[in-house]
Chain A
């Protein structure tokens, strides 16, 4: 798997643009609340030979699925097409695409030579008759075709929305099977869309809450393999783990990397009391950040590393607080009704996602970093544990259903609250951690 990922992209080249390089008027301003998705067409990419035919079709389908999955775009079925695209370099028949109201058009070509796969694509603003950005060529290996498709989608998305994409990214999560009282949990990693699931641990011990490093090379997680909860760091490429030792007789959990990846903040339980600590990974030395008889847990850094948002029940119920990342006086930011937990700072720095429990329901919500403008995005019997897409537009979380046959699965939702979707996994899933865009 890792070999594939590190050797995948041997090149990403600008194609010489036959038409205007500057973007035309086609622009989706997604902060203004899109209700009506933008219609687009992705005619099958043109294969340059029989060996490329299946890849060309599959890549086109993944690009279409990525864009449709955002809820911001609506694909126009190939049945409606007037034009066929049989040559990548032939002029686009804009009138034919206008006639079916395709506002955006993605054309592409696929070449396969042995194990080498090359994808070229262009994005068109149909109604202005202009190319949006410049054509690009991606080169890699055939077994990395999905990633190349996601790369195309990221380009299309960011050219049309002006924001970074999130498709060429991975999600670490806990794969769950078995009934509630005998649940088996395994650490797993997959593409953001649920493809290419790879298991990183067996189910011999309970594992909880993997957390990606800022570059995606490592995962922090909690495991009971020693008999009590302890934090481990796992090298994703080599699937090699190491315990992060804390004092004897303590339990540790809820770790998260600092933005520079050199230290972690985590919860340590001593004598029944849970406080926040910070560990320097090079030395293994820990320092205490909070010291109260209350529960302090679920810490998350601001993207600039200067602050930590966390959950504490020092007021009597779990609420959200922000403190300087070296410790110090926290400021409470949650004041609505109910109980707040698992705050996670957005990668853009502007919002904090959280779990809220109120009147017997659970919600995923977002608020400004000072607690203003709280908005609840979901509601169910049990939603928890939000994680942000790399561009800060989408939140993935755990939803558990009620009752004896209750099951955990992953869902995603746009920060507008729209486009709630299940994320398909082979078994049940929980505790997602959305990694960064891959290189």
Chain B
């Protein structure tokens, strides 16, 4: 809608990325800034959930049995915080997940720790707590289904899912 707003948001994102990350590309591949027209709602629209998901990065990964945020995870979450601050209409649910190694119960609790670690980081970077819900899926919703570390590493995740706009 407001083209200026989008551009400002985009600018802020780039600046912060440069400040906080050793690896600016960690914020996402490619990114906007091309000369083509921005299609509202498409991944090229920096205010779209698709942009958040693909360019900012909607997920952070964890080590085995850990819920501490890696430097890379913190970079991604910083990007999420910036985006959420620039797009105050959105609320989010952070889903915590575990790999299949471990009991159902323990993994449910572990997923909750991971979701909460992401939530606390976003709050510490200024996002209002009442915009951020958490849910744990434990090992119930793997995205990768092989039984090797290659898959497990992608399943140990916290995913920030934009659940709609507070303004409807």
Give me the interface of A with B, judged by CB distance under 8 Å: 179-181, 183, 206, 208-209, 224, 227-229, 249, 251, 253-254, 267, 269, 271-274, 295, 297-298, 311, 313, 318, 339, 341-342, 355, 357, 381-382, 384-385, 400, 402-404, 406, 431
Whether the pair B109, A269 counts as a contact (CB closer than 8 A) is yes
- Of B112, B117, B142, the contact of A181 (CB 8 Å cutoff): B142
**Shortest Cβ distance from residue A48 to the other chain B in the assembled complex, whole angstroms:** 50
Can you offer 7 A-B residue contacts whose CB atoms are under 8 A?
A206-B141, A272-B67, A297-B106, A298-B103, A318-B106, A342-B104, A400-B100
CA distance A227 to B135 in the complex (A): 8
Q: Known interface pairs A251-B135, A404-B145. Does A342 touch B108 (Cβ–Cβ under 8 Å)?
A: no
Q: Known interface pairs A179-B145, A269-B136, A406-B145. Does A251 touch B112 (Cβ–Cβ under 8 Å)?
A: yes
Give me the interface of B with A, judged by CB distance under 8 Å: 67, 93, 100-106, 108-110, 112-113, 115-117, 119-120, 133-137, 140-147
| Chain B residues with CB under 8 A of A249 | 133
Whether the pair A208, B104 counts as a contact (CB closer than 8 A) is yes
Whether the pair A229, B145 counts as a contact (CB closer than 8 A) is no
Chain A CB within 10 Å, residue with most, of B108, B117, B136: B108
| Chain B residues with CB under 8 A of A180 | 100, 142, 145
Whether the pair A311, B134 counts as a contact (CB closer than 8 A) is no
Name which residue of chain A comes closest to B144, CB basis. A181
CA distance A267 to B112 in the complex (A): 12
* Cross-chain pair count, CB within 8 angstroms: 106
Q: Known interface pairs A183-B140, A206-B140, A229-B136. Does A385 touch B108 (Cβ–Cβ under 8 Å)?
A: no
Whether the pair A341, B145 counts as a contact (CB closer than 8 A) is no
CA distance A87 to B102 in the complex (A): 57
B interface, over-half SS: mixed
| Chain A residues with CB under 8 A of B117 | 272
Whether the pair B147, A181 counts as a contact (CB closer than 8 A) is no
Q: Known interface pairs A251-B135, A251-B136. Does A382 touch B105 (Cβ–Cβ under 8 Å)?
A: no
**Shortest Cβ distance from residue B146 to the other chain A in the assembled complex, whole angstroms:** 5
Whether the pair B104, A385 counts as a contact (CB closer than 8 A) is yes
| Chain B residues with CB under 8 A of A179 | 145
| Chain B residues with CB under 8 A of A381 | 147
Known: A273-B113, A402-B147; 8 extra A-B contacts, CB below 8 A, are A181-B144, A249-B133, A251-B136, A267-B105, A269-B136, A297-B109, A341-B102, A400-B100
5 A-B pairs with least C-beta separation: A272-B116, A274-B109, A341-B103, A295-B109, A180-B145
Name which residue of chain A comes closest to B143, CB basis. A181
CA distance A226 to B1 in the complex (A): 34
**Shortest Cβ distance from residue B120 to the other chain A in the assembled complex, whole angstroms:** 8
CA distance A355 to B105 in the complex (A): 11
Whether the pair B146, A384 counts as a contact (CB closer than 8 A) is no
| Chain B residues with CB under 8 A of A228 | 133, 135-136
CA distance A404 to B104 in the complex (A): 18
CA distance A341 to B136 in the complex (A): 18
| Chain A residues with CB under 8 A of B145 | 179-181, 403-404, 406
| Chain B residues with CB under 8 A of A313 | 106
**Shortest Cβ distance from residue A258 to the other chain B in the assembled complex, whole angstroms:** 18
| Chain B residues with CB under 8 A of A406 | 100, 145, 147
**Shortest Cβ distance from residue A104 to the other chain B in the assembled complex, whole angstroms:** 40
CA distance A23 to B103 in the complex (A): 45
